[in-house]
Structure 1
Amino acid sequence: MNIIDNDLLSIQEARILVENAREAQKMLAAFPQKKLDEIVERMAEEIYKHIRELAVMSSDETDYGNWQDKLVKNQFVCEQLINRLRGMTCVGIISEDVQNKTMDIGVPIGVITALCPATSPVSTTIYKALIAIKSGNAIIFSPHPRARHTIGKALDIMIRAAEGYGLPEGALSYLHIVTHAGTVELMNHDATSLIMNTGVPSMLKATNQTGKPVIYGGNGNGPAFIERSADLKQAVRDIIASKTFDNGVVSAAEHSVVVDRCIGAEVKQIFKDHGTYFMSEEESEKLGAFFFHSDGSTNGEMVGKSAPQLAKRAGFHVPDHVVLLISEQKYVSENNPYSKEKLCPVLAYYIEDDWMNACEKCIELLISERNGHTLVIHSKDEEVIRQFALKKPVARVLVNTPATFGSMGATTNLFPAMTLGSGSTGVGITTDNVSPMNLIYIRKVGYGVRRTEDITNGGLHERVQTTDGSTQSTNYKLEDIEMLKRILKNAIETL
């Protein structure tokens, strides 16, 4: 009887991929930015031909969300991201200060291991491949098991296009035999320089144990505060559009709404007028029992389902036109499923007396899952907006925009990204919308502009130009400097 050990096969494949990537990256690191840009453009051009097919395929394979919205995400990375990458210099001389005689040199970080979520498998894969090659790095993907066929097909298309245009073989690759052991081997290999984990919390412990730099796009659980001065109808429309997009699978989407009490009744009615169903306490309990398994992990069968589907699974009925379910809550607690990230069109709903109490409620919600991802405030009061921006333990604050689209840079001028750093509480090395600039290190160059003796003779020196065009050094003693300061101070006071 033949026994196939997939763990051993996956580990062996991982070692081969990393070693090939290391050799490929040595060649890639010598490519000028112009050549890297040509490869990236070719990759985007070719994958764009397949984005509809891949959207349908990913929705069918994962059973998350809907293909129409996945197509929008795929278009976003092939169009808006590419537009932002054009003209960006990541390697070689990236800045030069002629006056101060300094330069910054961008240097690729090396070999990257990438983990992608099943919720946005195609768009995240395209995005990571493009920014890695743009910045001269080799990248190896460990496809999410629930989306491995779709991710594999997307990568095959980009690999053929890139290698046909000069990308070294092995610089862009992926595990075909996907196991936990193989992924751990990828991350721990000596040649791996950086790990990008987007939306795979089950691998976070193994990721952190590698001792390598980690970029982590983690749990969202972001609240949205509707303050009394906001355009209420627009705020509600933004929240609904964001939370129902792809049936709520985007981690950065709103997960709770906090409302000023004086506008609470009006906001609730606007939500109802736009296809939202406020659940009874009994219905909330029934639905809440399905979100998580007994060990606290997310129930994948609730992810990316429509509001009527969710209600049916929980044993109650809502009309077919309902797009969003809301549970009215008072408290945030570890045992309350509505205090956590919900990757489906469901929101918790809190009423607070004023913006200061709302501020505290938002902080409670942000720290409940400790990743400090994204916060939205809908308000016209700039002082309230500033206070929220200054005081929240969060990676990004969005103002008067839908969280899903604002966070990824679609409706804001943030960098177009499918990995949103959530390092504000120590998880990962950055809170940025991750760009190619997060995948390089900066080599500093400084020319000498002062002589050694100018700083070692025990005094302060100034180079002065004489009438014949030559320069000489003037030595000022410290006591002379102090005396000059006193004279100037007295003169200013006299004036």
Structure 2
Amino acid sequence: MNVRATTAETASSPAADDVRSEVGALVARAREAQRAFEHAGQTALDTAAAAAAWAIMEPGRNRRLAELAVRDTGLGNVEDKVQKNFRKTLGLLRDLHGKPTCGVIARDAERGIVEIARAVGVVAAVTPSTNPAATPANKIVNALKCGNAVIVSPSPKGYTSCALLVEFIHQQFDKAGLDRALVQLLPAPVSKAASAELMARADLVVATGSQANVRMAYASGTPAFGVGAGNVASIVERSAVLDDAARKIALSKTFDNATSCSSENSVVIEDAIYDAMLGALQRCGGVLLDAAQKARLQAAMWRDGKLSEHCTAKPAARIAQTAGLDEIAAREPAFLMVEESGFGVEHPFSGEKLAPVLALYRASDFEAAANIVRELYAYMGAGHSVGLHTAHLDYAVQLGERLPVARVIVNQAHCLATGGNFNNGLPFSLSMGCGTWGRNNFSGNLDYRYYLNVTRVAYPIEERVPEVDTLLGEYFRSVGR
């Protein structure tokens, strides 16, 4: 489906005309503001990015946004959202600090190349309900740093939080003398038609959230970056420090009630340490369900093959109550665990759960563990990431060479590490590309460089034509001419 065609070329109706007019007016204001802004110089761009960042980082505003997000979406918990809003934005500022994003940004005298950073224009930012403040803030800061304007299309549940964020950004813009039209929001209620119209009119789409939104972005006719489905697995290899691995997995699984696509959904444990690792996870608050309890949990979590909103991103005790497992809820679990051996739609625990529920797989050795992860990702989550807990660090490179993943996270709390952290070198982002494995056109963390065009000036240099034997000599020696 070509959304550009469906929004611009289908027969008119009063409702469709209203959507086109309303979205068109937003984009026109954004374009006017952006054309002046992109040539205002690096200081202006840096000021705008800082204003948007401080809008969410300031403690009072941060807490208001976190409380509103949990109240209106019913997803996650306030304290973790406060931490996420602050740390993810602080890390982004660290990544952006001192980076040139306008004018000449590089000169290579030997190659005669000069690189000039150019804005992309108006960015359509599609954002999810799971992080209704942190994700739009990340996209807005990146876009502004590169001289762009942004119009956000938030999820309906996350609309109020996103609207308050934009209000806070506008307040900071007023102090800095910046045009409010640089950051705008689709009016409520956000419809699919309005979001599609925005995507079609923008210069770039950055989409995070449901796969339906990502597919719409790719079909919009506008250049787009979208992310793949999450279903992260972590391997615990026999040389791992088990208590450390369990603590990090528990932190990742429970943070913000597992709203992150980077929270482990499965842990694959080598047989030699399976019982010991299970004990370590139990000491971290995990409660293992028996077969009957697992069946009741499955019935509660999936209705007609779809995750139930009554369990998504809820505390483990509440999920247990929803499943009628009052005896489990009374134990106040930090997270629930089920043993699994299968993959696919007939084994829903092998997929993404968006809840503090963990599937445990037993593997005979490291090779078997890697194969289990491959099976999991053949069902869901290809391209995203894999976790590894081990003392043999070279095993991580083996996974990176063999599994369909864009990131291998070694001995870290996965959901805190995958999107960048202060103890690893990945860029801070809440949008992780999954490469062609996940039907994406990029495999990195979506950082500021994806919000830029680069113009290259090529000057003449001394001609250097290589000899054929220099380039093909090895081939000739091994194969012949």
- Return the TM-score normalized by structure 2: 0.89
Match for 1:227: what amino acid?
Answer: E
**CA displacement at 1:11 relative to structure 2:** 4.1
For 1:478-489, what aligned pairs fall within 5 Å after superposition? Answer: none
Q: For residue 430 of structure 1, what is the aligned residue in structure 2?
A: 442
Counterpart secondary structure, 2:383: coil
Are 1:361 and 2:361 an aligned pair?
A: no
Asked if 1 retains the 8 angstrom alpha-carbon contact of 2:269 and 2:363, the reply is yes
Asked if 1:42 is matched to 2:58, the reply is: no
Q: Mean alpha-carbon deviation: is it higher for 29-38 or for 131-140?
A: 29-38
Cα distance in 2 between the residues matched to 1:200 and 1:370: 13
Tell me, yes or no, if structure 1 residue 95 matches structure 2 residue 84. Answer: no
Q: How does 1:337-348 map to 2 (within 5 A)?
A: 337-348=348-359
What amino acid is aligned across from residue 31 of structure 1 in structure 2? A
Distance 2:440 2:365 in 1: 34
- Please point out which of 157, 173, 185 is paired with 2:184: 173
Matched, 1:159 2:139: no
Q: How do 1:127-166 residues align onto structure 2 when only pairs under 5 Å count?
A: 127-166=138-177
Contact 1:40 1:162 in 2 (8 A): no
Matched residues in 2 for 1:202 and 1:91: separation?
A: 34
Change (3 A) 1:426 1:258: closer
Tell me the number of residue pairs that the alignment of Structure 1 and Structure 2 aligns. 454
CA contact (8 A) 1:247 1:306 kept: yes
Give CA deviations for 1:225-265 in whole Å, capped at 9, x if unaligned: 00011111100100000110011111111110000111111
User: Does the residue aligned with 2:287 lie in a helix, a strand or coil?
Assistant: strand
Kept in 2, the 8 Å contact 1:51–1:71? The answer is: yes
- Looking at structure 2, the residues matched to 7 and 156 of structure 1 have their Cα atoms a distance apart, in angstroms, of 28
Whether 1:280 aligns to 2:290 is: yes
Correspondent of 2:129 among 118, 126, 131: 118
Where does the alignment leave 5 or more consecutive residues of structure 1 unmatched?
461-477, 490-495
Q: Which amino acid aligns with 2:321?
A: K
1:380 paired to 2:394: no
Q: d(CA) in 2 for partners of 1:290 and 1:423?
A: 33
Question: 5 Å matches for 1:293-308?
Answer: 293-294=303-304, 296-308=305-317
**1:220 counterpart = 2:239:** no
1:160 CA drift (Å): 3.1
Distance in 2, Cα, partners of 1:426 & 1:445: 35
Q: CA deviation at 1:335?
A: 2.4
State whether structure 2 residue 291 is matched by structure 1 residue 266.
Answer: no
Structure-1 residue corresponding to 2:3: none
Residues 1:200 and 1:7: Cα distance change in structure 2 (over 3 Å): farther
Distance 2:57 2:240 in 1: 38
Give the whole-Å Cα distance in 2 for the aligned partners of 1:186 and 1:297: 28
Q: Percent identity?
A: 28
Using the TM superposition, give the Cα deviation of residue 70 of structure 1 relative to its aligned residue in structure 2, in angstroms: 0.3
1:333 deviation in Å? Answer: 1.7
Letter in 2 for 1:220: G
Shift of 1:426: 5.3
Residues 161 and 385 (structure 1 numbering): CA distance in 2 closer, same or farther, change over 3 Å? same
Q: Give yes or no for contact 1:6–1:179 (8 Å, CA) kept in 2.
A: no
Does residue 1:254 correspond to 2:264, yes or no?
yes
The Cα shift of 1:162 comes to 2.4
Say whether 1:292 aligns with 2:289.
Answer: no
Determine the structure 1 residue equivalent to 2:362: 351
Flag the 1:70–1:370 CA change in 2: closer, same or farther, 3 A: closer
Q: Is the 8 A contact 2:343 2:375 kept in 1?
A: yes
Q: What residue ranges of structure 2 are gaps of 5+ in the alignment?
A: 1-13
Would you say the 8 A contact 1:417–1:434 is kept in 2? yes
In the alignment, residue 232 of structure 1 is paired with which amino acid?
Answer: L
Residue number in structure 1 paired with 2:29: 20
For 1:233, the equivalent position in structure 2 comes to: 243
The one-letter code of the counterpart of 1:207 is A
Deviations 1:161-183 (A, max 9, x none): 22542433422101113111111
Q: How do residues 50-65 of structure 1 correspond to structure 2 at under 5 angstroms?
A: 50-65=61-76
